[in-house]
Structures are given as C-alpha cells and as structure tokens.
Chain A
Amino acid sequence: MTKKLLASRTIPDEIIELVKESVINTFESILGEPPLYQENETPDGPLNGMIGNIAVFNPEHTLSLMLALPKETAMALSEVFIGMQLPFESEDMGDLVGEISNILAGEVAANIEKIGFRGQSSLPTATRGSDLTLFMPNKPPTKKMKFTGPNGDFWINMALSESK
C-alpha cells in the first residue's frame, strides 16, 4: 500500500470507496438514514456555512478530510444531533461540526486500516464563514464528493499527501 500511494498521482479508488462508505455509515448513524452519494455532481461555488477539517495520518501519508456543510445543513444537523437547533454563529456549532468530523475520521481510520493504511486521527478544527473556497496549495491528489441527506446537501473534499 505504501509504495502504491507514493507512486500514485490520484487517490487510489479503494481509498475513495472506503471514505465514501465511511461518510454514508457515519451520517446514517447520526441521522438514521443514509445520505445519497451524488455521483455526477461537482461542488457548487463558494460555501456559506461550516467546514470541519481533520486528518488521518501516519509517518508516511496524510489523508486530509474536509467536511463542507452549508449553513442550512449545519443547523438541521444540530437539531438531530443534540435535539435543538444551535445558532449558526455559536461556539457550540463549531464544536458540533468538529465532533462530526472527528466521528467521520474515526470511521475512515478504521476502514482504511483494512487495506494497510494504519493511521491516527488529528484533532478536528472548524471554520465558519461565507464565500468560503477551499484551496490545496501544493496540488496533492484530491477528490470531491457531494452527498444529499435528509437534512440537506454536504460535501467531502479529501486530499492525500506525504506526511512532513
């Protein structure tokens, strides 16, 4: 697996599939029903909402995960997760998005371990704002995926890079 990752200029399909499966499992366990993967959808323009950032890493590779939630999706998720809708501008909303990212990373780490990528999760961070655009300065292999859940759309961006 290590040699394969180092040689590839794209994220291996098996990792993409396992991340996709992890996203579906994670959100199903939170929402009670699985989100649908929108195969031919590309992400829309700049985001007005929240981004949860987390990575699964080992000394060789880092798989960065960015969970992009439009404002409406984030607020609806808060209602499901804690039983009441959180104010979008609250600290608790950042806490919640970080925790959902953390749960997702735990699922991803367990899944990709099955194909030899043994790593640990970083601590999550969350960003809130409008007109948010994600950039990957060093142009690592990336993959963007859109999902539609019962509480709205969301995106996962992932990037695979060598650990520094």
Chain B
Amino acid sequence: MNKIKALIVDDSKIMRSAVKRALDQLMIADFEYVEAMNGEDALEQFNDEIQIIFLDWNMPKMTGVEFSKAVRAKGNTEHIPVIMVTAEKSMGKVDIALNEGGANEYITKPFTADKMHKTIKRYFDDEGNLNTGKEKSEKKSFFSNILKS
C-alpha cells in the first residue's frame, strides 16, 4: 500500500487531530500527513507531492476557500480532491465552496469517521491507492450526499 500524502488545513490543532484520527480509523489508505494552520501556511506547504486536501473554511490570514481557489489557479491540480471540513452549514456556503472554490466534497463539523468514509471512499481503490479515473475530479452534489446518508 502506497502512502497517500494528505494536507490537513485547520487553525484548530484539535480538529486537525480529529481528521487524522478519523482517517486512520477508516483504514482506507495509508496516510502521511502534512499540517497547516491556515490557508497561507497551507500554500507554503503545498507541493507536487500532496495528493488529497482536507480543508477548514474559517481561518485567519487566508480562508479555506481562498486557498482552494489559489490551488486550482495553479493549474494541473484538478486531480487533487479537496474535501472541505467545516462548521459552515448554510447552503449558500456549500455552493460557494463547491462551485467557486473548486472543492470536491463538503463535510460539516462535527463529523464521524463513518461520515468521512462515505464522503471519501470513492477516491480510493481497494488497495488504498487514490483512484486515477475520471470520477475523482467530478464534483459530487452535497445534496445527493445528504440524501444517501
């Protein structure tokens, strides 16, 4: 099983730990974590090796959506799933993150490992590798997520 390099961006250390704990619990892949405290910090840490991003919205210096936009603007990053993990719950915010920010998925806090699994499992194959097929860069409707859960 290859290591998947995941960038976890949240200004709360507790929440970064919660995301890592949930991902380890899923045993969906073998993750190696890079952590950032805000969007600006995340942009500094972002490089070609990052394979998936878990991203809070409301952070000092640069928000999660601003960071996501900046990553997408770099080009050749559409294959990297951006998973918003945020307390922002209004439908307007979901729409902004998915359609303007370039995020692929939206999870609201507090989340369970099960909720995380349902959201991200389609990005991984049975061997714990990130899928390279077409579906990984497709946006999944937050509303269809709600209907399925």
Contact = CB atoms under 8 A, between A and B. Distances in A.
Interface of A: 29-30, 81-83, 92, 95-96, 98-99, 102-103, 105-107, 109-110, 113, 118, 121, 123
A123 B110 contact: no
Contact of A109 (B11, B88, B109, B110): B88
B90 A95 contact: no
Contacts of B17: 82
B14 A82 contact: yes
B13 interface: yes
Secondary structure of the A contact surface, majority rule: helix
B120 interface: no
A92 B18 contact: no
Contacts of B18: 81-82
Nearest to A93: B14
Contacts of A82: 14, 17-18
24 contacts: A81-B14, A81-B18, A82-B18, A92-B13, A96-B14, A98-B12, A99-B15, A99-B109, A102-B109, A103-B109, A103-B110, A105-B87, A106-B89, A106-B109, A107-B87, A107-B89, A109-B88, A109-B89, A110-B88, A110-B91, A113-B90, A113-B92, A121-B87, A123-B59
Nearest to B90: A110
B108 A106 contact: yes
B12 A95 contact: yes
Interface residues of B, number: 21
Contacts of A107: 87, 89
Interface in B114-148: none
A103 B15 CA distance: 11
Contact of A92 (B14, B21, B86, B110): B14
Nearest to A102: B87
B110 A106 contact: no
Contacts of B12: 95, 98-99, 102
B19 to A, nearest CB: 12
Interface string B1-36: 000000000011111011001000000000000000
Contacts of A109: 88-90
A123 B58 contact: yes
B36 to A, nearest CB: 15
A99 B14 contact: yes
A83 B18 CA distance: 10
Contacts of A123: 11, 58-60
B90 A29 contact: no
Nearest to B86: A106
Given A81-B18, A99-B12, A102-B58, 13 more contacts: A29-B110, A81-B14, A82-B17, A83-B21, A95-B14, A102-B109, A110-B88, A113-B90, A118-B92, A121-B58, A123-B11, A123-B58, A123-B59
